[in-house]
Amino acid sequence: MSIADSILSVNNDLPIRTDLPVHSGKVRSVYWLTDKDSRRLIADKGYAVPNDTPLAIMVISDRISAFDCIWHGEGGMLGVPGKGAALNAISNHWFELFKQQGLADSHILDIPHPFVWIVQKARPVMIEAICRQYITGSMWRAYEKGERHFCGIQLEEGLKQDSKLANLLITPSTKGILKGIPNVPEADDVNITQQDILDNYSAFNFEKRQDVELYEKLLTEGFQVISQALEGIEQIFVDTKFEFGYVKDLVGNNKLIYMDEVGTPDSSRIWDAEQYTQGNVVENSKEGFRQLLLNHFPDPDILLNKNRMQERQQLAADNALPVDVLMQVSNTYTEIAEKITGKSLVVSDNPKQEIIQILKRDYQLID
């Protein structure tokens, strides 16, 4: 079997029983189960949720997105081998650690396969919660141009690229287009301040004002838990994105949880600590792929300028990347996953067939 065959690139065509359209994001696809199947699984598997909780099957893919585009390789390579399994393994590891440390639960109820989560329905908080411990990436580019205010926070003069910040910064942005919030433009992914959130907490889907404090606590403590664990394997946790939502607990009360993924090479920057002490930045995350794209194309402004999105999408569609580039990314994801989890990553020859077999045999979700 070829490398291309082992890549799960299309994940929205599985024959899972559902009454609703499959929601397909850049990397994951979500299949909402029927009410009957949700109730049956809750009873059969003993999930600690109310028996009328809607459940979904979330299937990850090996697709790689960067600069809001999906990229592909030569020879029909429509993703990165091992990427999906690596992302899920890393998230599973951190979610488990958060639970052990008494931080908060996640939306995951079950893990039938390395590519699959069974999740309970969550009501998302409409914030991309970003934590930064170092000045790099978009923040450095803005700082270099003279910007000193970020999400209501004033940065001091004289910072150097990739240097450690005096404090962990929370720099949130909007998740989706939110309307009617004073001083917040009606656009996706715009920076907001802590005061914006406190003054308009219900517009961001928080239940109560105190939950804004809880979200900040879970954000900073979650960052610290991962950062300390990465220090132990000589890695630096540079910055990351968290997402939060509300789910029902067993007695029907709403609780704030972590959702989506956490501490992965897709949602975070991770640097090699030994190299950093020698003055080199070696990325163990998708940032290395982003830098590669910026260096690969003659006009990097296409990738950085939101007003050139049509050109950018055309660029991604028209350019098959060299196989060795995608294999380099594969090695980065696989190696960091194995370092974090302390386990070998099992990469399947035919993940789609395996998923179908397990969901049919063990969960009766496929006719």
Q: What is the dihedral of CA 84, 86, 91, 96, to 10 degrees?
A: 130
Distance, CA of 299 to CA of 292 (rounded, Å): 13
pLDDT in tens, 236-251: 999 999 999 999 999 9
User: How many C-alpha atoms does 17 have within 13 Å on its Cβ side?
Assistant: 14
pLDDT at 1: 52
pLDDT at position 2 over 80: no
pLDDT in tens, 86-132: 999 999 999 999 999 999 999 999 999 999 999 999 999 999 999 99
* Residue 302 one-letter amino acid: I
pLDDT-derived band of residue 6, with 50, 70 and 90 as boundaries?
confident
Which numeric CATH code is attached to 126-277?
3.30.470.20
pLDDT at position 34 over 60: yes
Cβ pair 87, 333 in contact under 8 A? yes
Q: Identify the CA nearest to 58 among candidates 30, 84, 21.
A: 30
pLDDT at 349: 87
Which numeric CATH code is attached to 1-125+278-367?
3.30.200.20
pLDDT at 306: 87
Residue 226's φ and ψ, nearest 5 degrees, are -70, -45
In the chain, where the domains are located: 1-125+278-367, 126-277
pLDDT in tens, 242-279: 999 999 999 989 999 999 999 999 999 999 999 999 99
Distance, CA of 283 to CA of 288 (rounded, Å): 5
Find where tokens 């949602």 sit. 267
pLDDT at 347: 83
The structure tokens listed for 266 are 């897709």
Distance, CA of 10 to CA of 4 (rounded, Å): 12
Task: Count other C-beta atoms under 10 Å from residue 43's C-beta.
Answer: 10
pLDDT at position 160 over 90: yes
pLDDT at position 30 over 90: yes
pLDDT at 82: 95
Distance, CA of 330 to CA of 253 (rounded, Å): 41
pLDDT at 346: 84
Query: What mean pLDDT is predicted for residues 188-196?
Result: 93
pLDDT in tens, 17-29: 999 999 999 999 9
pLDDT in tens, 316-355: 999 999 999 999 999 999 999 999 999 999 888 899 999 9
pLDDT at 5: 72
